[in-house]
Amino acid sequence: MKYQALPNRLYIKNRNNFGAAMSSNAIALLCSNDVQYTNADDSMGFAQNNDLFYLSGIDQEESTLLLYPDASKQENKEILFIKKTDDHIKVWEGEKLTKTEASTISGIKRIEWTEDFEKILQSVAFEADAFFLGHNEHLKRATRELETQQDRLIKWCRKQYPLHVYDRAAKLTRGLRQVKSEEEVQMIQQAADISIKGFERVLKKVKPGIKEYELEAELTYVFFKNGAIRHAFKPIVASGKNACALHYNDNDDLCQDGDMILMDFGVCYANYNSDTTRCFPVNGKFSARQKEVYRAVLNCLKKGSALLKPGVVSEKYEADMAALVEKELIGLGLLTSADIAKQDPDQPLYKKYFMHGTAHHIGLDVHDVGLYSRPFEAGMVLTCEPGIYIPEEGIGCRLENDYLLTSGGNINLTANMPIEIEDIERLMAGA
């Protein structure tokens, strides 16, 4: 394991909260993700189902969690099924978790082999009245994704137990996962700390003529050297005009003297993620215009992050952020007050230069689960990421930090990542 396992009291608490939110006499079934394959016998690796991880801490494929809080027998209230290591697996893949190890990680006493799942489920299923099943319920979920292990479990369960009532585990976890525990915040902070090291290394390596992918490689080196599981997402290393494409990640262009680089990147540590964006000049010195745009975005970040407060609703926050950017666009000479006064309110002019939202939840998912109709609360972790994109000038600038909301004000988890122009230029100069 690349990371230090979290204390199992976290998963015990998470399961207790989840069980309390379930309807009476119901069974919840959460299963792991599939291993995704490329071609022939090669795989893209394994990333755990985050709801299963949230409730168990188990980071292994072919795992299933059964929760039945109202079971008549204590031994049936929590059962974790894991993959058994046979001689073939031991030779080709190495040892999987033992029952003792799985129990220690999760805090679940009853551990069974996955091969016994159907038999054991049937021994308790007819005592229950309902099932809570997991599924990928996310606003940005791929609508044409391949069938998953969750899909197959849903089909199988409905076929085997057609007269039970069915409900959605995701509607419970999306509420619980939005507010982070102290242990979870520590993992996000660890991910952020690694990303800070990566950014500082990039600043020392960048120079005119370097390829964008070379800077991505510097990030990757630092991330894995410091225990990251993977990049939180495919990093964006966008120089010059490439920065005006919001999700550009080919990262194969040449970094030209006089251009600015937009780098949007994150670390996945212990399955928890950071998400940060910084901009910096290829040659180590911002031009006068780059400084103007950069300072405008930084001003929006500083003022906008202060608007992230408990009780604020996302829609109001985003409208206030848009107003901040709009004001800066006027100052940059890109819009005029007269034009704004007569604009179509349904198609505001600022969207030509600023076309995305600025705050999303972050945690086990980079764009973490949760309803944005729910007011912000203490304990939530959100990004703030204003941007201004001027294709005709070849300038794209976005700045992003991660913030823990508290009743006494925000805590910037990425505060140690250089962001002031003077600090970036000084570090790039080797000072």
| pLDDT tens by residue, 4-28 | 889 999 999 999 999 999 999 999 9
Comparing CA positions, the residue from 126, 81, 139 lying closest to residue 108 is 81
Quick one: pLDDT at residue 142?
55
Angle CA(332)–CA(338)–CA(340) in degrees, nearest 5?
75
Which residues belong to CATH 3.90.230.10 in the chain? Answer: 182-428
DSSP structure string for 210-269: -BHHHHHHHHHHHHHHTT-SEESSPPEEEEGGGGGSTT-----SB--TT-EEEEEE-EEE
Residue 323's contacts (CB-CB under 8 Å, 6 or more residues apart) are none
What is each CA distance from 182 to 101, 126, 308, in whole angstroms?
Answer: 24, 39, 19
Show the low-confidence residues of the chain (pLDDT under 70): 140-145, 431
pLDDT attached to residue 140 = 66
| Ramachandran area for residue 30 (φ above 0: left; ψ -120 to 50: alpha; else beta) | beta
| Cβ atoms within 10 Å of 136's Cβ, excluding its own | 16
pLDDT of residue 144: 55
Supply the pTM of this predicted model. 0.95
Domain 182-428, CATH class in plain words: alpha beta
Decide if 12 contacts 107 (C-beta within 8 A).
Answer: yes
Query: Could you tell me the sign of the dihedral formed by the alpha carbons of 66, 68, 69, 71, in that order?
Result: negative
* 3-class secondary-structure state, position 276: strand
Return the CATH number of 8-176, one of 3.40.50.300, 3.30.9.10, 3.40.50.720, 3.40.350.10.
3.40.350.10
Comma-separated ranges of CATH 3.40.350.10 domains in the chain: 8-176
**What does the pLDDT read at residue 266?**
98
Q: How far apart are CA 327 and CA 371, in angstroms?
A: 29
For residue 392, CA distances in Å to 121, 133, 242, 244 come to 62, 50, 12, 10
**pLDDT value of residue 46:** 87
